[in-house]
Amino acid sequence: MDGRNNKNTHPYPKRSLCNMADYRKKSQEPELPQQNNIDLNALADLIANKVSGSIELPQQNGIIYRGYSPDGEPVNAFDDTSSMDALAKSMVVQRGEKSSNFEDLGGVKETKKDNNQTNNTIDLLSDLED
Amino acid sequence: MSDDILNVEEGVQTPEEGVQTPVAEAPAPAQNEKKYKPGVGVDVGTSNIVVARQTEDGTFVNRFHRDMLYPLDVSEEAVDLLDRSDYLYVKVGKKYYIVGEDALRLVNAIGRGEVVRPMQDGILNPNLKESSELLFYIIKAVVGDPIVPNEPLRFSVPANPVDRDLDNKFHEMVLKSFFTQMGYDAKPVNEAMCVAYDCAPMAKTDEGDMPLTGIAISCGGGMTNVALCLKGMNLNAFSITKSGDYIDEQASKVTGVQASKVIKQKEKNLDLGSFDMSDRVLAALRIYYQETINRIIHHMTTEFKSTNAEVDGEIEIVIAGGTSMPKGYCDMFKECLEDSEFPFDVWQVRHSKSPFYSVSQGSCIRAQADFRKKNK
């Protein structure tokens, strides 16, 4: 960490020539009097820790994410949804020819409920997100 | 589950007119004479498929069919049997499959072979590829076609269980894919939340009554589903795999009586309010019912405490499902709850007025809300 203020051993990527010229120019300017006793090394450590912490792969409910999509949504590192979806579709295909002696099936039971209660529930649910 | 179980009491009808929603003619033969509101609910359970639609006057029409098949090889004898009977069947290549309640009647009459169950523990039985195709063939015949293009359909799915490593995601994808192919705008809905939508639990708070707030429990054959809801939102849902089938199996094991006879006893004579030691089957059933209820309360306590769920005031618990049908179920539940360290204050434990149809009716209510939202 001692080398952080030394330009020759600067740990960050090399600057472009243009930026380097600006940097040299700025470094020749007289130093401003230091008003606060700021520990630059500690500050650099803090920033480095923050940056490295923020790029850690998030993990929730056993799902490991490999980063974020352009719209900011986490991207599942092992997403098999499309393959599973294809498999699910293949499961509902009727392969062999089938015939039956019925058209519709099942017994029927009618129940009656309080219409107001049902409608209030529908009102409430239609305002909710899925 | 017998027809006795299916013929449950009806709810109370009130004459109030509700909000008008569009209605349409249903094309299925049995639905021609009624006008239905768009939005269909489907309960694909371990034991039964139940489909609910609501008519213009507010009546719920539930169509039910037992998830069972009995395979029969094509032979002169089999063809003769089917000609002489009114058994419903599907013919696939060189096999007949007797479907529904008839499958159970036939296997009991013949005394050999086994009934095939396309659903297991609340999800599609992964070991039976051919029967899942048959299940879809049957579901199609029970559900019928959409009454409006892209009609909303909600199908109930169980939450992942807390007592077994089981993921329902694929089951959900398969059913969604199937109903979408049928022309529906299909979405899953949590099974216990369907009970909440149907029974509308109410919490009592200092600020007044809070609608659709409390705990909903669906006691099915393969699973018990539980959901904690707040104003219609699902805060926490889970399932327990030990339910009605477990009770039957255990009672059968300890008494040495066939499971089918245990089921018959349960459906005809079980009263959880009386402890009759003179009948071993009824006594065993009562013991395992109590164990199962205590197990539900234990898991609810653990889950809700671990998630620090908080609801102000006193909540209501609503219960539905075929396994909750025996007389005295809710009273036994209350007693067990009083002996527990349950994290919420409960003002009432209420049994659904139509316990067998609560899940399908709740799904139907959710589908109608989808339709209203789409047309806002």
- B92 forms bridges with which residues in the sheet? A98, B95
- B40 forms bridges with which residues in the sheet? B153
> Between A and B, how many residue pairs show a Cβ–Cβ distance under 8 A?
175
The residue ranges of every structural domain in chain A are 2-27+39-56, 57-89
pLDDT given at position A10: 53
Q: Are B114 and B148 in contact (CB under 8 A)?
A: no
Taking the CB of residue A47, how many other CB atoms lie within 10 A of it?
A: 10
pLDDT given at position B92: 83
Three-state DSSP class for B150?
coil
Three-state DSSP class for A21?
helix
User: Which of A79, A80, A87, A92 would best serve as a mutation to test chain B binding (most B beta carbons within 10 A)?
Assistant: A92
Q: Are B40 and B151 in contact (CB under 8 A)?
A: yes
Q: Which two tokens stand for residue B126?
A: 């992964």
pLDDT given at position A77: 72
Comparing C-alpha atoms, which of B115, B120, B117 is closest to residue B131? Answer: B117
**What count of Cα atoms within 13 Å lies in the side-chain half-sphere of residue B82?**
22
User: Which of B143, B182, B193, B368 would best serve as a mutation to test chain A binding (most A beta carbons within 10 A)?
Assistant: B368
pLDDT digits (tens, 9 = 90+) for A35-90: 566 777 878 877 776 665 555 556 666 667 777 777 777 777 777 777 777 777 77
Beta strand pairing call for B152-157 and A74-76: unpaired
Residue ranges of chain B with per-residue pLDDT less than 70: 1-32, 128-131
pLDDT given at position B129: 65
pTM over 0.80: no
State whether B18 and A115 contact (CB < 8 Å): yes
Kindly identify which residue of chain B lies nearest to residue A97, measuring between CA atoms. Answer: B92
The CA-atom distances, in angstroms, between B340 and each of B265, B294, B323 are: 30, 9, 22
Average pLDDT of chain B to the nearest whole number: 86
Query: In which residue are the tokens 């203020």 written?
Result: A5
C-alpha B18/C-alpha B30 separation (Å) is 25
Taking the CB of residue B8, how many other CB atoms lie within 10 A of it?
A: 18
Q: Which two tokens stand for residue B297?
A: 């309360």
pLDDT digits (tens, 9 = 90+) for B105-137: 888 777 777 788 888 777 777 776 666 778 888
Asked if A80 is an interface residue toward chain B (Cβ–Cβ < 8 A), one would say: no
C-alpha B339/C-alpha B217 separation (Å) is 19
Packed helices B244-255 and B280-306: angle between N→C axes, nearest 10 degrees = 140
Comparing C-alpha atoms, which of B316, B349, B314 is closest to residue B330? Answer: B349
For residues A27-31, give the mean pLDDT.
58
The residue ranges of every structural domain in chain B are 69-116, 196-351
Overall fold of domain B196-351: Nucleotidyltransferase; domain 5 (3.30.420)
pLDDT given at position A33: 57
C-alpha B168/C-alpha B160 separation (Å) is 6
pLDDT given at position A36: 62
The secondary element (H helix, E strand) that includes residue B185 is strand B185-190
The CA-atom distances, in angstroms, between B282 and each of A9, B129, B254, B325 are: 84, 37, 12, 15
Q: Count H helices and E strands in chain A, helices first.
A: 4, 5
pLDDT given at position B120: 75
State whether A84 and B368 contact (CB < 8 Å): no
HEC secondary structure over B272-314? CCCCCCCCHHHHHHHHHHHHHHHHHHHHHHHHHHHCCCCCCCE
Query: Could you report how far apart the first and last alpha carbons of chain B are, in Å?
Result: 41
pLDDT given at position A29: 58
State whether A115 and B14 contact (CB < 8 Å): yes
Using an 8 Å CB-CB cutoff, list chain B residues near A116: 14, 16, 18
Kindly identify which residue of chain A lies nearest to residue B177, measuring between CA atoms. Answer: A89
Asked if B14 is an interface residue toward chain A (Cβ–Cβ < 8 A), one would say: yes
Determine the distance in angstroms separating the CA of B243 from the nearest CA of chain A, rounded to an integer: 25
Determine the distance in angstroms separating the CA of B285 from the nearest CA of chain A, rounded to an integer: 28
- B49 forms bridges with which residues in the sheet? B44, B65
Asked whether the predicted pLDDT for residue A26 surpasses 70, the reply is no
Amino acid identity at B247: I
pLDDT given at position B108: 75
State whether A112 and B142 contact (CB < 8 Å): no
Three-state DSSP class for B99?
strand
Q: Are B99 and B90 in contact (CB under 8 A)?
A: yes
Q: Which two tokens stand for residue B327?
A: 């007389």
Comparing C-alpha atoms, which of B69, B108, B75 is closest to residue B90? Answer: B69
Distance of CA B274 to the CA centre of its chain: 26
Of A108 and B123, which is predicted with more confidence?
A: A108
Q: Which two tokens stand for residue B76?
A: 């002169």
Q: Which residues of A4-28 are buried (b: 16+ CB within 10 A; e: fewer)?
A: eeeeeeeeeeeeeeeeeeeeeeeee
